[in-house]
Amino acid sequence: ASGMAAGDRVGMLGVNSDRWLECLMGVWWAGGVLNPVNTRWSVPEMVYSLDDSDTGILVVDDHFLSRVEGIRATAKRVPVFIYAGEGETPAGMRSFEALIEAARPVEDAGRAGGDLACILYTGGTTGFPKGVMLSHWTLWSIGIQRLAQTPMPAPSAMMSGRIFSLD
């Protein structure tokens, strides 16, 4: 409903929340590429990453509403702003909740493997940050590697609606 097509970049500027997870999964389901905007950056740094990655949609929560006007005023490509907060949707933004309520189910775009999943920006210690392009395969591989390095808790079993340790 916001004009996103397969491969389009969608930014998320917000704190960890259920909406962040919905955005992440929704973007991937629809075939988009996520650009998680660093919440510690200044507006010029945010705009740099949005322009560099050609982000066309930016989801913003209540914590970062104050950054919207600066982004709108300086971005080369002004993104469609989607408000994922708790209050009234600000002027010039679309409502995350209203978009979900009005949405019809869509088929999974089926992007996987070597398809681009997200663009993460480096710290820029030698100049401007660089966009690191990560595929779905790379994210899966990182997850598997992390599991291999993490000690597993003691086995447990679900019995009568309660969890009991087997050791």
pLDDT at 156: 57
Bridge partner residues of 57 (DSSP)? 10, 80
pLDDT at 124: 67
pLDDT at 155: 62
Q: How many Å apart are CA 87 and CA 93, to the nearest integer?
A: 12
pLDDT at 120: 95
pLDDT at 2: 73
Helices (H), 30-166: 43-53, 68-74, 96-102, 136-149
pLDDT at 7: 93
pLDDT 10s digits, 78-103: 999 999 999 999 999 999 999 999 98
pLDDT at 154: 66
pLDDT at 126: 77
Task: Compute the radius of gyration of the chain from its Cα atoms.
Answer: 19
SS3 151: coil
Q: How many Å apart are CA 34 and CA 12, to the nearest integer?
A: 8
Structure tokens that stand for 117 in this block: 């999943």
Query: Which stretches in the chain have pLDDT values below 70?
Result: 124, 153-167
Are the C-beta atoms of residues 54 and 131 closer than 8 Å to each other? no
pLDDT at 84: 96
